[in-house]
Structure 1
């Protein structure tokens, strides 16, 4: 079974949908600070069936030993299997969970994965992990440095998980938008994920001036991209509508900050992971779905 490494892209399939309306601030989550106006979303005709249930996981910054709080939605609202978190928080999330079901019915199950990246990993992997991120976001960088590579090694490269990335611009200014656009221009030459890695590996903070035209071009040259094609793509803003459509998808789902993750399990169950949780949290969640 072939694995799509970061130097190889594949077309993004459509799967399912989920929703987040957690407006609580926490140390692992970059709240949205600027709303981008956009037009009607793109559509896609290759969508799998709706998920069987939705599970929410909201952990501001807990240790693995503290346990996991899980709220379940099975064709309605059903909260169960929660450990180590106040019931009031779970009850507070009921309106959010209800809204997810409404968004599934109104918008269809493709809102979560359309307007995203190419697949990273095997297309046949039983679990899909979707990240909504911003290339300048401090906590997205933390996830990339501390968690992403371990997920790659233990789950993606073993054909258990495939990854999709969706742009959610939350940092004020235009730099994050330009960085995101550059990844899609690299995608035209089959280098989306290599450029994605290049950006995070050269990250220098939020709005510190590192996302310049010169740097974006330098990253493209380092990947041996055709610079005429890359420059033309950038100057024509070829992928801006897709990026703003991805942002609108996030708004539709009620996502207000980055990183936000959604997991689609082997039985089409959905689960939300809030913020840059440590690898051990992801491991517990992924393993729980793989054991089904």
Structure 2
């Protein structure tokens, strides 16, 4: 995609990229694997040890506009807002954590809470089976009206990507106990039976179709901004969208 005129220094902000995905996926994830195989192979800039070379991906604002269906995705803000912001993210992605806890919170405060924009979250759970479980767990929280609380908790308490046990189904259920109002018995049942596995897989497929190859990728009225960019980059794009 054609690069917009963002300064070179801002085009080097990192994303988690995709490759070697098959080493992450366990038996029982055939549906997810099929989607990945049918699309482009992701996470391509990681070395053989699995350690990310996180500055290699082209990043910044992309000019091509794509249509992204909101479906039943979690949404914050005015449904009739002029600007729609859609984030594709993985709960285990460290740059998604950076976006959520820093830039994303500013965007929500200045544009979503003021009614100028709505914020939509889409799962791009591509870092392994534990990412898929975390995504499904957040959907189980959404079932009880607590998606954003659980979303925030996971990012505010994110573990290193190598800590796979942290994102076991047992632990993900335990974390739900930190959210007031969540019935953990109901939550555990939802997560253990994979009630939202198809939803998570659908988001991944949709992201691939939209050209997502790393996380976070954020679309502002259909125009992508890739990577953990500074707030100023998003502010500029949102302000431009508000004028159009």
TM-score (norm 2): 0.75
- Tell me if 1:289 matches 2:241: yes
Cross-structure match for 2:229:
277
> Offset of 1:38 from its aligned partner?
4.9
Distance 1:188 1:161 in 2: 24
Distance 2:64 2:159 in 1: 39
Distance 1:185 1:246 in 2: 15
Of 95, 111, 120 in structure 2, the residue corresponding to residue 164 of structure 1 is 120
Q: How many positions carry a matched residue from both structures?
A: 204
Aligned partner of residue 220 in structure 2, secondary structure: strand
Cross-structure match for 1:218:
174
**Residue pair 1:132, 1:261 contacting (<8 A) in 2 also:** yes
* 1:146-205 Cα deviation digits (max 9, x unpaired): 20111111101100111111111221x311111101000011111111111111011022
Distance 2:88 2:17 in 1: 12
Aligned partner of residue 37 in structure 1, secondary structure: helix
**Residue pair 1:118, 1:192 contacting (<8 A) in 2 also:** yes
Distance 1:259 1:203 in 2: 15
> Offset of 1:249 from its aligned partner?
1.0
Pairing of 1:1-292 with structure 2 (within 5 A):
26-33=12-19, 34=21, 36-38=32-34, 60=59, 71=63, 109=67, 112-114=68-70, 117-171=73-127, 173-208=128-163, 209-223=165-179, 224-264=181-221, 270-292=222-244
> Offset of 1:229 from its aligned partner?
1.2
**Residue pair 1:186, 1:225 contacting (<8 A) in 2 also:** yes
Distance 2:80 2:103 in 1: 22
Aligned partner of residue 218 in structure 2, secondary structure: strand
Unaligned runs of 5+ in 2: 4-10, 23-31, 36-56
Cross-structure match for 2:43:
none
* 1:221-241 Cα deviation digits (max 9, x unpaired): 121311221111011100001
> Offset of 1:210 from its aligned partner?
2.0
* 1:251-270 Cα deviation digits (max 9, x unpaired): 22232111111111xxxxx3
Distance 1:118 1:278 in 2: 24
TM-score (norm 1): 0.63
**Residue pair 1:260, 1:274 contacting (<8 A) in 2 also:** yes
Distance 1:245 1:218 in 2: 26
Distance 2:217 2:71 in 1: 16
Q: CA RMSD in A?
A: 2.6
**Residue pair 1:117, 1:192 contacting (<8 A) in 2 also:** no
> Offset of 1:219 from its aligned partner?
2.0
Q: Which has the higher helix share?
A: 2
Unaligned runs of 5+ in 1: 1-19, 40-57, 62-68, 74-99, 101-108, 265-269
